Amino acid sequence: MMNYFDQNDERIKNDILVLSKMINENAEGYTRRPFTKWYAQSRKWLAEEMKKCGLDVQIDAASNLIGKLEGENKELLPIMIGSHTDTVTGGGRFDGIIGVVAGIEIARQLKEKNIKLEHSLLIVDFTAEEPSEFGISTIGSRGMVDNLTEEMLNRKDPEGLVLREGIKLAGGRPEDISREALKAGDVSLYLELHIEQGPVLEQTNNELGVVTGIVGIQRYQITVNGQPNHAGTTPMNMRFDALTGASKLVLAIEEIANKPYEEQVVGTVGRLFVEPNGSNVVPGRVVFDVELRSLNTNIVDHMVEQIKTEIKSIENSRQLSVSIDKLSQSDPIVVKEEVIKGIEAGCKGVGRTIYLPSGAGHDANQIAKIAPIGMIFVPSKDGKSHCPEEWTEYDQVAKGVKALGNALLYFDKRDNS
């Protein structure tokens, strides 16, 4: 595969630095949550960068930012390159961000080198990929493939913002999401560059990862109801303590996830609320989120059944009432052989490459519902992500961009030969 694209470390570094300043300065790390003024600021900058390299820019009904470059052959379906620029609270500067920057840098170089693609090219910044305060992740890419239900659109965040209003705030038209959604046969291929968010590339001294599959994620909300009471006058044997009951359940979930299964699994409780949350009050109610991940959906379903059994036993032994509600589910993805072949070709001659699955979920999980998907990983220092220490060398990111650009040309030529 000819190396048509340059490794432009400096421009990539500048893009990442500019975006790393558009953050909530009152929050930890590099925080840019969706539907905030910092998100609007970054969106505005991205749109300007897209326009500068000749992309026709629009916001779709689900509020995704999309830059389009018309292809030479109108018979061919567009190729899409995308990711997200929202972060988790206290997050880093690379997760998602490098995938959108990569798309823009590829568009810049196509223009500079006067390379004419046969396919039209769509560069997408998907809205709210990270788990949101609405209990849903990949909001924009869900919307793009009509996978946002009315119930989801009517959900409120803790401040009372309704998701459909948030989408409008970000420039979307919730009422048009279903009508304008993309279907199978609308997009030829989706490609995404992303940090690995794990230790494998670094530990094996590789520079590029050809992603072979992406885990499926199921998220649930568990509510433990007990009885608030005076912490000083309520004897230990007369308490219905929601927090100690929830703690037993959290540890049981860890135990369930630590069991041996034929496929790797993870189980996490990352968000927990105590009511009334007073130091001299026996907790009356605890609400927490559980997320379970694996490449094998049957194993996750089996874990959920084990959690439900634990819930029954804790209800009986502690006279509490516990409910479990499903928040969201994304299905696991296996990357198609012919896509892996093109990604291999793109990485050839760019950097040391290995094959690995993704333990993180991505917008690609949603776009896989309407098109073949492929992903390229670049290393994460110490395997860290979703924290301020998240780090990838700029030249490593630029190598990923070059590989992605080469892969794009491989697929563009493949479909037109």
Amino acid (1-letter code) at residue 188: S
Which of 284, 346, 357, 361 touches ligand HGY (CB under 6 A)? 361
CA 176 – CA 62 distance, rounded (Å): 8
Amino acid (1-letter code) at residue 186: D
**Which partner in Mn ion, ligand HGY, none is near 196 (CB below 5 to 8 A by kind)?**
none
302 known ligand binder: no
**Least CB distance to ligand HGY at residue 239 (A):** 36
CA 65 – CA 82 distance, rounded (Å): 10
Nearer to ligand HGY, 285 or 386 (CB): 386
Query: Is 99 a binder of ligand HGY (CB under 6 A)?
Result: no
**Least CB distance to Mn ion at residue 72 (A):** 32
Question: Closest Cα to residue 340, out of 229, 171, 243, 209?
Answer: 209
Nearer to Mn ion, 270 or 278 (CB): 270
Which of 15, 95, 196, 412 touches Mn ion (CB under 5 A)? 95
CB 343 within 8 A of CB 199: no
Query: Is 62 a binder of ligand HGY (CB under 6 A)?
Result: no
Cβ neighbours around 179 below 10 Å, total: 9
**Least CB distance to ligand HGY at residue 129 (A):** 6
How far the first Cα of the chain sits from its last, in Å, is 15
CB 157 within 8 A of CB 132: yes
**Least CB distance to ligand HGY at residue 56 (A):** 28
**Which partner in Mn ion, ligand HGY, none is near 361 (CB below 5 to 8 A by kind)?**
ligand HGY
CA 97 – CA 101 distance, rounded (Å): 6
**Least CB distance to ligand HGY at residue 317 (A):** 33
Q: At what angle do helices 37-52 and 97-112 cross, to 10 degrees?
A: 20
84 known ligand binder: yes
219 known ligand binder: yes
Query: Which two tokens mark 175?
Result: 């009422």
CB 115 within 8 A of CB 126: no
Query: Is 196 a binder of ligand HGY (CB under 6 A)?
Result: no
Nearer to Mn ion, 100 or 106 (CB): 100
**Least CB distance to Mn ion at residue 99 (A):** 8
194 known ligand binder: yes
- Which H or E run contains 152? helix 150-153
164 known ligand binder: no
**Which partner in ligand HGY, Mn ion, none is near 241 (CB below 5 to 8 A by kind)?**
none
Point out which residues pair with 358 in neighbouring strands: 214
Query: Is 96 a binder of Mn ion (CB under 5 A)?
Result: yes
130 known ligand binder: yes
Cβ neighbours around 249 below 10 Å, total: 23
**Least CB distance to Mn ion at residue 198 (A):** 12
How many Å is the Cα radius of gyration of the chain? 23
Nearer to ligand HGY, 88 or 282 (CB): 88
Kindly tell me the burial class for residue 371, based on how many C-beta atoms sit within 10 Å of its own C-beta (0-12, 13-18, 19 or more): buried
Query: Is 29 a binder of Mn ion (CB under 5 A)?
Result: no
What dihedral angle (degrees, nearest 10) is formed by the CA atoms of 44, 125, 83, 85?
A: 30
Kindly tell me the burial class for residue 200, based on how many C-beta atoms sit within 10 Å of its own C-beta (0-12, 13-18, 19 or more): middle
CB 315 within 8 A of CB 321: yes
Residues 125-154 close enough to bind ligand HGY by CB under 6 A: 129-130, 137
**Least CB distance to Mn ion at residue 95 (A):** 4
Residue ranges at the known binding site: 84, 95, 130, 194, 219, 280, 293, 386
Residue ranges at the known binding site for allantoate: 219, 280, 293
Residue ranges at the known binding site for Zn(2+): 84, 95, 130, 194, 386
Interacting residues with ligand HGY (CB under 6 A): 95, 129-130, 137, 360-361
Interacting residues with Mn ion (CB under 5 A): 95-96
